[in-house]
Chain A
Amino acid sequence: MATTAKNMKGFYKQTKSNITGGISKSKPSSRKVSPKHAATQGSDATQPAALISHGSLDVKGTLLLRKDYNFSFSIVMCLISNALVLMEFNDCNGYDEKEEMLRQFDMNMAYGPCVGMTRVDRWERALRLGMNPPNEIERLLKTEKVQQDCLWQGRV
């Protein structure tokens, strides 16, 4: 997560896409968060948990630069980074760009509902219905070790 957010803009963009997928799920998933993570969550607003867990100098540096921005901005950043933390701790087993790409494929409405089908089946259905799904997805699903079930499998 931190490595992909080299600049502030990139960081912000990353969180936005997570929020659409993640905020609605954060309530039930917060139950799964173990006590030690809860402690970091409840920490001081001026020192968001994300900074502590990331430990990346860039992010810290940029936040310090923006100390002169108004209060509401930093609140927003806290909320975003907290959500980010929750997302990260949920899928700490290999939530990387490949999974991100597959999740974007899951969420894409053009290929129909994703629940109840494996990703491969959904890709093949999209192919058969003439939607030209990206070949990259097929390659990932068939050749690499990625999660075969869709994003919501077992959660909905």
Chain B
Amino acid sequence: MASMEIDSEKTHERKQSDYTCLQDERFEIQKEMYRGQQYSQIYFARLHLMRTLLYSLAPSWKPHLPVCKVLGLEEGKECIIVGTLFKHMKLKPCVLDEYSKERSVTPLVKPRNFMHPDDSLILEDESGRVKLGGSALSPAVYVTGVVVALHGKETSAGEFVVEDVLEAGLPPQLERPLDHLKEDKYVLLVSGLSIGSNSSNPLLFQLLVDHITGHVADDEELGLAAQIVHVVIAGNSVEFPRKLLTGQNMASKDQSTLYEPIKELDIMLNQIAAGVSVDIMPGLNDPANFALPQQPLNRCLFPGSAPYNTFRSCTNPHSFDVDNIRFLGTSGQNIDDLDKYSEAESKLDFVERTLRWRHLAPTAPNTLGCYPFTDRDPFLIETCPHVYFVGNQDKYDNRLVKGSEGQLVRLICIPKFCETGVAVAVNLRNLECHTRSFNIQL
């Protein structure tokens, strides 16, 4: 790309990389036509595909046990059943509560997490449901929509006591070419720019842009910037002034105030796109559809940046390859939803769980908006990524996960840039990552 010339003999040229984005096709819904179907179709597709997988894993897990359907359970017979988990939660808000005869006092402040000690799990397949008991399966860890295989037996009370659980585990991973990169190349991940919000400082984002494009005075920093081969903006790039959206007709003055954030974002993206390839993903607050998979932000929103072929508007979730390293990431809605309906010590535990369950967003469509696909579930993770990132989290965190078949995945929680000023850089050579923080002290 462009070489930066400054007052030294050394010129820095940006490193090149191979970018392909073929997997995003399954997240696009342009070809889908809604025919009045219900969500039962996507649950069926999910159960069928996961069950085929679990049936193939069951013999090596517990070789001597028969596999049967829920309806075929006999009392006292030890067997393996495969189905979708449903978590019955007392505190989960239900739309029917509005119509209940007894008006209990509803708390004014919505609880952040809907868990309760009385939550119970139920396993369901197309033949029936069975209540799950025993201590092997903790309702605090699991959520509705996960497909698992369970080993146990039915009691006289009609409950299935679980002795052991089989999750799908990490999917197979494409081989990372062993010695392919002799030099450090970085992919920069940033999210939560929130341009237009009260808490965002435009100077902070400008600093980031200057760093990426190399408009810096320091030679060392210029060297760092030249090693960035790709930038991904993982959601929540703008925040619209919601008070203007009253449902009434808007005055033209308000209309121009409304799209100020997008115009500002476009100017910044223009600067980035001129120097390096950049992907922008929609998030919860962005002008895209609500239900997952979120469709790419319209190119008309970015009249300055769209003409560049380095600028790409992508879906959420987003999957791409850079130099044969597979990246997979979301803007955070899937993990935030897991946080509301289950618990873990850190957000990375949720991320790791979704990988082990082989499903990006198991709570969709139960509590997370989702398109009612009929013949597939696009959130099933078929190939293990090398880097799995989640945007818009509270703080930066990362973990290296090793799979049973030698898979190696770097899990990354990208913090909100407007609050922390932190962007994450992933080294393609060894999957290590570090933060690049920007600070303004006035």
Chain A residues within 8 Å of B, Cβ to Cβ: 109-110, 112-113, 115-118, 121, 124-125, 128-131
Q: Is B37 an interface residue (CB 8 A)?
A: yes
- Interface contacts (Cβ under 8 Å), in number, total 42
Size category of the binding interface on chain B: 10 to 19
Report if A125-B127 is in contact (Cβ < 8 Å); known contacts: A116-B36, A116-B41: no
**Is A128 in contact with B37, judged by CB distance below 8 angstroms?**
no
**Is B49 in contact with A117, judged by CB distance below 8 angstroms?**
no
A112 interface neighbour in B35, B36, B44, Cβ under 8 Å? B44
What's the least CB distance linking A25 to chain B, in Å? 19
**Is A116 in contact with B45, judged by CB distance below 8 angstroms?**
no
What's the least CB distance linking B320 to chain A, in Å? 25
What's the least CB distance linking B106 to chain A, in Å? 33
**Is A113 in contact with B44, judged by CB distance below 8 angstroms?**
yes
**Is A112 in contact with B38, judged by CB distance below 8 angstroms?**
no
Q: Is B356 an interface residue (CB 8 A)?
A: no
Instruction: Fill in one digit per residue for B39-53: 1 if any A CB lies within 8 Å of its CB, else 0.
Output: 011001100110010
Within the assembled complex, what's the spacing in Å between the Cα atoms of A115 and B37? 7
What's the least CB distance linking A115 to chain B, in Å? 7
Within the assembled complex, what's the spacing in Å between the Cα atoms of A126 and B38? 17
- Report, nearest first, the 9 A-B pairs whose CB atoms are least far apart: A116-B37, A112-B44, A125-B375, A113-B40, A109-B126, A116-B36, A129-B48, A116-B38, A117-B374
Report if A116-B375 is in contact (Cβ < 8 Å); known contacts: A129-B48, A129-B49: no
Residue of A nearest to B372 (CB): A116
Q: List 12 A-B contacts (CB under 8 A).
A: A110-B126, A112-B40, A112-B45, A112-B48, A112-B126, A113-B40, A113-B41, A117-B37, A117-B374, A118-B35, A121-B35, A129-B375
Residue of A nearest to B126 (CB): A109
Q: Chain B residues near A115 (CB, 8 Å)?
A: 37-38, 40
Chain B residues within 8 Å of A, Cβ to Cβ: 35-38, 40-41, 44-45, 48-49, 52, 126-127, 374-375
What's the least CB distance linking B210 to chain A, in Å? 50
Most chain B CB within a 10 A radius of its CB, from A110, A116, A130, A131? A116
**Is A116 in contact with B374, judged by CB distance below 8 angstroms?**
yes
What's the least CB distance linking A30 to chain B, in Å? 26
A125 interface neighbour in B35, B36, B40, B374, Cβ under 8 Å? B374
**Is B48 in contact with A113, judged by CB distance below 8 angstroms?**
no
What's the least CB distance linking B125 to chain A, in Å? 10
Residue of B nearest to A154 (CB): B36
Q: Chain A residues near B49 (CB, 8 Å)?
A: 129
Within the assembled complex, what's the spacing in Å between the Cα atoms of A129 and B42? 13
Q: Chain B residues near A125 (CB, 8 Å)?
A: 45, 374-375
9 more contacts with CB within 8 A, not counting A115-B38, A121-B375, A125-B374, are: A112-B44, A115-B40, A116-B35, A116-B37, A116-B38, A117-B37, A117-B41, A117-B374, A131-B48
Within the assembled complex, what's the spacing in Å between the Cα atoms of A116 and B374? 9
Report if A128-B375 is in contact (Cβ < 8 Å); known contacts: A112-B48, A112-B126: yes
Within the assembled complex, what's the spacing in Å between the Cα atoms of A118 and B49? 21
Within the assembled complex, what's the spacing in Å between the Cα atoms of A113 and B49? 15
Within the assembled complex, what's the spacing in Å between the Cα atoms of A115 and B40? 9
What's the least CB distance linking A127 to chain B, in Å? 10
Residue of A nearest to B38 (CB): A116
Within the assembled complex, what's the spacing in Å between the Cα atoms of A124 and B48? 15
Q: Chain A residues near B127 (CB, 8 Å)?
A: 109
Q: Chain A residues near B41 (CB, 8 Å)?
A: 112-113, 116-117
Q: Chain A residues near B35 (CB, 8 Å)?
A: 116-118, 121
Report if A121-B374 is in contact (Cβ < 8 Å); known contacts: A109-B127, A129-B49: yes
**Is B45 in contact with A129, judged by CB distance below 8 angstroms?**
yes
What's the least CB distance linking B334 to chain A, in Å? 24
What's the least CB distance linking A94 to chain B, in Å? 24
Q: Chain A residues near B375 (CB, 8 Å)?
A: 121, 124-125, 128-129
Residue of B nearest to A116 (CB): B37
**Is B38 in contact with A113, judged by CB distance below 8 angstroms?**
yes
Q: Chain A residues near B126 (CB, 8 Å)?
A: 109-110, 112
Within the assembled complex, what's the spacing in Å between the Cα atoms of A129 and B347? 34
Residue of B nearest to A131 (CB): B48
Residue of B nearest to A130 (CB): B52
What's the least CB distance linking B339 to chain A, in Å? 31
Within the assembled complex, what's the spacing in Å between the Cα atoms of A14 and B127? 24
What's the least CB distance linking B233 to chain A, in Å? 35
Q: Chain B residues near A118 (CB, 8 Å)?
A: 35
Within the assembled complex, what's the spacing in Å between the Cα atoms of A117 and B374? 8
Most chain A CB within a 10 A radius of its CB, from B37, B38, B41, B45? B41
What's the least CB distance linking A90 to chain B, in Å? 22
Residue of B nearest to A153 (CB): B36
Within the assembled complex, what's the spacing in Å between the Cα atoms of A125 and B375? 6
What's the least CB distance linking A105 to chain B, in Å? 15
